[in-house]
Amino acid sequence: MQGEIIKIDPPKQSRNKREVFIRVYFKMFPSGEWAETDIVRTFRNYARWRPLMKKGNILTGLQMLEPNRVDADSYPELRERPDLTLEDENLMKLCQACGL
């Protein structure tokens, strides 16, 4: 599966007070549903996630544990966003000028 990172919470203490985690929220494709995962800095999988955790990044390779829960042990990869063409840029300018 793939999804876009839409929000990253600040680090938070776990309930058991032993770990600090970062909650990452996604908009999943193609469904548009949201999902989340918790990344713990001291866990081995953090090294896979750390360079990719930026709002707006689109990640592939996401495995689901439940309908709205991404498995933190997934092997995410960054998907490049397609470059905008001149036609796309002109359309965006036109939309902005019209207040859309």
Beta bridge partners of 68: none
What is the third-level CATH fold of 2-97?
A: OB fold (Dihydrolipoamide Acetyltransferase, E2P) (2.40.50)
Phi-psi map region of 98: left, alpha, beta (phi>0 left; psi -120 to 50 alpha): alpha
The answer to which of 10-14, 31-35, 83-87 has the lowest mean pLDDT is 83-87
Residues 25 and 36 sit within 8 Å (Cβ to Cβ): yes
Record the pTM: 0.78
For the chain, the domains span 2-97
Tell me: the pLDDT tens digits for 58-82?
999 999 999 999 999 999 999 976 5
